[in-house]
Structure 1
Amino acid sequence: MTNEPTRDGAAGATPCRLCGGPTAPAFSARDRNHRISPESFRYVSCAACGTLTLADVPADLGRYYPASYYGVPDSADAAVARDENAAHRLELLRGLVPQGRLVEIGPSYGGFLELARRAGYDVSAIELDAGCCRFISEQLRLPVTQSDDPAAALTGPYDAIVMWHVLEHLADPAALIASAAAALAPGGMLIAIAPNPESLQLKLLGGRWAHVDAPRHLALIPLAALAGEGAKHGLEVAWSTTADEDALRSNNFGWSGSLAASTQNETVARGLRLGGELVRIAVAPVERRGQRGASYTIALRKPSR
């Protein structure tokens, strides 16, 4: 992996954020996506489950989420239109859970949530950001709970709990998996999308991989580790992939974003993004095999009684 200079400190002293196991140094990374600061952040790898954990979480982590991180739509239709992933995620949901009570964790401005409501689901949300909560409540007129602890905010029973690129931001992902398992109705599904730390891109790019997104991503959890954590609470893998539409978009951003982030010159960056697209095309046959895509989608089912 590509390494950058790290801060001082014993990386092995940081326990795995998923399973609590011992860790060893993996790589370091800077905030290449938003450039909030020039600091370097250490990631460590768990010997037991393979999860990558951010070792030195900033005390002021909130400042690494700039106002532009979200961006405010001006209507429900605009919220749906700006979410290029909403339609195929809804198609995935309908194939797994055709109807019922749905909660989305971390919906941002609720584009997917609104589309699910229009498809007939009984929807609600749990969201950290106050502005997003206000939009969901006032513009979408949907129930939303503002909370920085989604595990505690889940009430249930839910037929579906969905979280699209949320787990990697959580201080305690294991607690959320446990809470979600308890909150699901029998036969219900927990559906999640997350960056894939077993991807070809991470192996080649290391700390320069755009999906590391230091320091906002606190843990990069392997698909098998997440499945194992679910199994501890009685959840079974119903479906998983690293080659769906979400993964294809992640592949593109992973190559283009990683290369473009190496410069602050926008003209050069445009050329590098194009170069990243050419790399993506060249390695696409490899990324589609053996769980090498830049992200994975997994559906965990709670058995029916």
Structure 2
Amino acid sequence: MPSREQIAALRPAYREELAKGIARFFLPARTNCPWCLGPDLRRKFRTGDLIQDKPGEFVLDECLGCGHIFQNPRLSQEGLDFYYRDFYDGLGAETTAKMFEGNGSRKRFRRSARALRRVALPGRWLDVGTSLGHFCAAAKEVLPDTAFDGLDMGEGVEHAAKEGRVEQAYRGLFVDLADSMPGRYDVVSMFHYLEHTLDPHRELTAAHTALAPGGHLMIEVPDPQSLCGRLLGRLWLPWFQPQHLNLIPMSNLCTRLRNLGFTVVVAERRDAHIPADLVCATWFLFSRLLPPDDVPWRPKRPGRVSRVVRSAMVWTALPFLLAVYGIDQLLNPLLRRTRFSNAYRVIARRDG
């Protein structure tokens, strides 16, 4: 957990940034769909930042023509930088590392690597949005002869290279770097990455550039058509506002890949499901009752009474949250076989 001193040291910079207002973090609202350009949109819901509780309100719209769901108005790159800050790195680096190092994540990473191994034995693999490179480390256990490189905007990818989880680290935007690696890779993977991007079409084109003919693109993303999303509403974790900008129905993604010159060889939901919907929704609901946490984007540190009450309430709720987590795991074998699965996987081969 971040110390009081770390939080206090960051507070002046956040105060100065927030004093300028947050309207500047958003691009103009769209009147058409960013996926198909169709004009028929409807408001899905409006929500705050349920993840970090930074200030701001975010809207998801749905295209009635193709089913694409997108943030509207969308955050600019400056806005994304603000809302990502201290989540994957900085204050949040330790929590992120623990999440990816957990046994559940390692098992999921190895399942993904085995799914690719069933269609190809790659020599060189680029993991886009790799963060700290934990997928590459787990996949190496399944594919020991494959060389793994990683790409990410954050400093985590550089740590991944230093700690040996990736051989080469690229720091920056994939759409800017892809032209420097034409045909270099046998596999490009995007695990819960595409939904974070400003322009998924450009990202898919970049993957086509970086892949050798016959190479494979592997994508796992949240499924906006999941029945869990309908059941849990704005409390469904994969909406993940404000970070998720585009949520793409599987059929839309497969069609786009075929148009780009790929052959879809795998399109499935069962193996990509992550069993955490109920426990996360419960936490989001419960957190509304909690006194505010000590975070640097608040003007001042909460008082002692508030901090004590928050700590006591969290410890009181912990057994209940663990029980709900157990229900998630118990239901996992059933949900992943149905349209309640919260994610899907597509593997596509780049045509010659």
Is the shorter-chain TM-score for this pair beyond 0.5, marking a shared fold? Answer: yes
Q: Which ranges of structure 1 fall in alignment gaps of 5 or more residues?
A: 1-6
Task: Kindly state the Cα deviation for residue 280 of structure 1 after the two structures are TM-superposed.
Answer: 6.7
Q: Distance in 2 between matches of 1:145 and 1:226?
A: 26
Q: Distance in 2 between matches of 1:106 and 1:208?
A: 25
Match for residue 262 of structure 2? 235
Change (3 A) 1:69 1:270: farther
- Contact 1:80/1:115 (CA < 8 Å) preserved in 2? no
Match for residue 63 of structure 2? 46
Task: Kindly state the Cα deviation for residue 50 of structure 1 after the two structures are TM-superposed.
Answer: 1.0
- Contact 2:50/2:284 (CA < 8 Å) preserved in 1? yes
* Count of aligned pairs: 284
- Contact 2:265/2:349 (CA < 8 Å) preserved in 1? yes
Match for residue 88 of structure 1? 111
- The reply on whether 1:184 has 2:211 as its aligned counterpart is yes
1:51-70 pair list within 5 angstroms = 51-59=68-76, 60-70=79-89
- Contact 1:168/1:218 (CA < 8 Å) preserved in 2? yes
Match for residue 310 of structure 2? none
Match for residue 126 of structure 2? 103
- Contact 1:123/1:142 (CA < 8 Å) preserved in 2? yes
Write the deviation string for residues 19-56 of structure 1: whole angstroms up to 9, x where unpaired.
3333221122222122223x331101112321110002
Match for residue 223 of structure 1? 250
Match for residue 30 of structure 1? 48
Please tell me the residue identity of whatever aligns with 1:153.
L
Match for residue 298 of structure 1? 346
- Contact 1:19/1:49 (CA < 8 Å) preserved in 2? yes
- The reply on whether 1:285 has 2:334 as its aligned counterpart is yes
Write the deviation string for residues 58-113 of structure 1: whole angstroms up to 9, x where unpaired.
4522222242435557xx9x976674232222212222221222111011111222
Write the deviation string for residues 145-168 of structure 1: whole angstroms up to 9, x where unpaired.
111x21231223121110110001
- The reply on whether 1:161 has 2:224 as its aligned counterpart is no
- Contact 1:124/1:143 (CA < 8 Å) preserved in 2? yes
Q: Distance in 1 between matches of 2:328 and 2:112?
A: 26
Q: Distance in 2 between matches of 1:100 and 1:106?
A: 20
Match for residue 168 of structure 2? 143
Match for residue 226 of structure 2? 199
Task: Kindly state the Cα deviation for residue 287 of structure 1 after the two structures are TM-superposed.
Answer: 5.1
Write the deviation string for residues 166-186 of structure 1: whole angstroms up to 9, x where unpaired.
001000001111221233222
Please tell me the residue identity of whatever aligns with 1:121.
T
Match for residue 317 of structure 2? 268
Change (3 A) 1:100 1:123: same
Q: Distance in 2 between matches of 1:93 and 1:80?
A: 21
Q: Distance in 1 between matches of 2:328 and 2:84?
A: 29
Q: Which moved more, 1:259-268 or 1:222-231?
A: 259-268
- The reply on whether 1:170 has 2:188 as its aligned counterpart is no
Q: Root-mean-square deviation (CA), in Å? A: 2.9
Task: Kindly state the Cα deviation for residue 208 of structure 1 after the two structures are TM-superposed.
Answer: 1.8
Match of 2:152 among 127, 136, 150: 127
- The reply on whether 1:152 has 2:152 as its aligned counterpart is no
Q: Which ranges of structure 2 fall in alignment gaps of 5 or more residues?
A: 1-22, 288-312
Please tell me the residue identity of whatever aligns with 1:124.
D
- Contact 1:12/1:44 (CA < 8 Å) preserved in 2? no
Task: Kindly state the Cα deviation for residue 226 of structure 1 after the two structures are TM-superposed.
Answer: 0.8
Match for residue 3 of structure 1? none
Please tell me the residue identity of whatever aligns with 2:63.
C
1:10-21 pair list within 5 angstroms = 13-21=30-38
Change (3 A) 1:12 1:287: farther
Q: Distance in 1 between matches of 2:247 and 2:285?
A: 22
Match for residue 4 of structure 1? none
Q: Distance in 2 between matches of 1:221 and 1:79?
A: 24
Write the deviation string for residues 192-215 of structure 1: whole angstroms up to 9, x where unpaired.
110010001111122221110100
Write the deviation string for residues 226-254 of structure 1: whole angstroms up to 9, x where unpaired.
1111111121211121111x31xx2x211
Change (3 A) 1:32 1:284: farther
Q: Distance in 2 between matches of 1:204 and 1:13?
A: 27
Runs of 4+ in 1 over 6 A off after TM superposition: 78-82
| SS in structure 1 of the partner of residue 38 of structure 2 | coil
Please tell me the residue identity of whatever aligns with 1:65.
Y
Q: Distance in 2 between matches of 1:79 and 1:12?
A: 34
Q: Distance in 2 between matches of 1:144 and 1:127?
A: 8
Percent identity for Structure 1 against Structure 2? 23
Q: TM-score, normalised by structure 2?
A: 0.72
Greater C-alpha radius of gyration? 2
Q: TM-score, normalised by structure 1?
A: 0.82
Task: Kindly state the Cα deviation for residue 117 of structure 1 after the two structures are TM-superposed.
Answer: 4.8
